[in-house]
Amino acid sequence: MYGMVNKAVQDLITRQHGEDVWQRIRGLAGVEEDMFISNEPYPDELTYRLVGAAAEVLAVPATEVLRTFGRWWILHTAMEGYGHLMKAGGRTLPEFLINLPNFHTRIVLMFPHLRPPEFECMDVTAGSLRLHYHSHRRGLAPFVTGLLEGLGEIYRTPVTVKHEQSLDAGAEHDVFLVRWEESAA
Ligand code: HEM
């Protein structure tokens, strides 16, 4: 994945837990890089090692690290670095979600080697939809949950996210039921 992902993990750990904890996590993950170049691709495996080491050092499940990272990605990485793109995604949470399947096509223009996720919105109602998620990678569903919760926060629209079908549990792909308060959206 592009360096900006690893850099965001580093920012999250450093800002929430301090430089010493980051250095311990980096050491445990066997990562030699002291900084990451945002627009350079790195092996996915490096990111997975960082997440695994963070789970161990912080004594929380890796799924929790990924979920926290998803919220961080939206609230900090995306909003601070790409606010214009996020704004263009929609005026409300449901609008953003409906546009989500096309979101990374604009990102590919900046990061040509991107291997983006694929999303599909189904069963859309005034207060919910089912988000279908396809990826080349495994194990990132909790990251998606965190991303959706982060989107709820930036749109000030409380959301609940239910992971209805899981690839890891044998489903064909992951499906999330996303619900929001109609009045807030
Ligand atoms: C401006 C905001 C965003 C930028 C710059 C961005 C960029 C990226 C980058 C660089 C990757 C790593 C993939 C690679 O390097 O091959 C990635 C992965 C991913 N992005 Fe985004 N993204 C943004 C917003 C979003 C949003 C809003 C969502 C969904 C709510 C999302 C969902 C994901 C997921 C799930 C992955 C993991 C890759 C996978 O599933 O295989 N991203 N994105």
CB of 2 sitting under 6 A from ligand 1? yes
CA 173/CA 133 separation, integer angstroms: 7
φ/ψ of 164, rounded to 5, equals -80, -40
Query: Of all protein residues, whose CA lies closest to atom 23 belonging to ligand 1?
Result: 78
Q: List phi, psi (to 5°) of 44.
A: -55, -35
Q: Which residues pair with 169 in a beta bridge?
A: none
Backbone angles phi, psi at 175, to 5 degrees: -130, 135
Domain 67-184 class in CATH: alpha beta
Return the best residue to mutate from 6, 115, 147 for the ligand 1 pocket (most ligand atoms within 8 A of CB).
147
The ranges assigned to domains in the chain are 3-60, 67-184
Ligand 1: residue whose CA is nearest its atom 39: 117
Identify residue 8 by its one-letter amino acid code. A
Closest ligand 1 atom to residue 41 Cα is 15
pLDDT at 183: 77
Q: Give pTM, 2 decimals.
A: 0.97
Beta partners for 130? Answer: 122, 177
Per-position pLDDT tens, the chain of length 185 = 999 999 999 999 999 999 999 999 999 999 999 999 999 999 999 999 999 999 999 999 999 999 999 999 999 999 999 999 999 999 999 999 999 999 999 999 999 999 999 999 999 999 999 999 999 999 999 999 999 999 999 999 999 999 999 999 999 999 999 999 887 66
Rounded distance, CA 22 to CA 184, Å?
A: 38
Other C-beta atoms closer than 10 Å to the C-beta of 74 total 19
Note the pLDDT of residue 184: 65
| Ligand 1 pocket mutation, candidates 71, 85, 86, 103, criterion most atoms within 8 A of CB | 103
DSSP state string for 148-174: HHHHHHHTT--EEEEEEE-TTTT-SSE
CA of 149 to the centre of ligand 1 (A): 15
Would you state the pLDDT for residue 185? 66
